Structure 1
């Protein structure tokens, strides 16, 4: 912002420069625009640092006018010599671009790829913290590699167990938990007559059929289906040992392991403490017998909706 003294000074000097006729065309244009701003806004005129510097340079008096001694009449104080405003001595500080200093504690992102075309400065000092960070990253990569290797070996052995279960001959997957892990099994329960092994294989338990809880035909079937599923989970949880025996499904020859055979599921029997879970659920009224032939099954019994 300009003071009243600055505005008066620039008005006078702009008028003098425009009258002497020595200004160029762009200087006259610039001074004319600035004079219009000063006349319109006065002390509220906004001038940038660059405009202020140009205005100061164009209106600067090259040589001070000679001082004349003025004899004032008696009783009139002598006129003081005119002084330029103090604001004209303003000179903005030069802008100096500085380079951002990098912190010696900065750790490089290990996921960021390195630029193969970047040339390293051989005279650049190395920070001791970076070597420590590099060693930490190397140790982390070694640990991750070991975890992946162990997971690969474990998945290989699980695949071997799955291959055994897909055979047409009966096979067995037995789990005898320790006293501290009693009731744990190597499968999860889907509903009252379907389980899923740890390798992802779905197994339909043969010899019985329980009510459907996912697509029931009536509310009574849905209630009994949930009770059968919870009862099977209770039998497995309370058992000291469980045994899953995979058997051949009753399907047409050549359809084993496809969607046309039991919807792509395997077939098997589940025993808890040596007892077949199907017989237990049938005796408790939560399942009905369902015996298939060599290459097919009769209609699925669903007597729960009347």
Structure 2
């Protein structure tokens, strides 16, 4: 079982990992489910050994992470069966592994090497769908190569210039070659108020806050978050000059550059043709002002869900 310190630790680390756009879709889904479970049950949260191992791996940091504590029976008296409420998820102890059931339609991983020393059972039934992966491995590689080739040709002929696609993921942007643009740099757009420089530095644009598109509180915020990201891409793509300048974050002294300051991100400003992108997004209703003090910030404004 988890203690209050463990629950607080995992909730904090899950929030930090979800802020990092490098997490995959299934990792985000798993961490979101675990955080909802901890928000609902707190210290009574029950997880299996496999779930706990995955949770530790996804939220690992340099500091020591919590260990799973299994409650054991210390009394010599016979153990009384536990009365579970109706509709309870677990039918046995929280860390007892249920027997694995094999599906007759399970497809073998085509990239997993076979063990040459394994003795096959001659009486084991053969499943009709298991041979698909092995038999079609060559065809699969050919189809994959064709898809990659077609995608490369399509990006070569249709991906240039300032064309705007419908994807909501990060996009690569190169600032215009102007000798007066001191903050000239290559960067990608993460969302409406966050960019990533070519050297890997994540920069939170200051002075405004746009709706969240990765963890929205409602559908309206998700729609506006995607629109703000697309609008920022339009402003950068249509600008003659861009200027990226780093500024000091509003954090406590001694925390600059650490995870305790703005989740480890840097702070900066982005100007297109001499205009701050934050002011443009605010004037178009895609952002709200968010001004921080010298060593801290007020609660993040998110008025899009009413």
Q: TM-score, normalised by structure 2?
A: 0.41
Q: TM-score, normalised by structure 1?
A: 0.41
Q: Which has the higher helix share?
A: 1
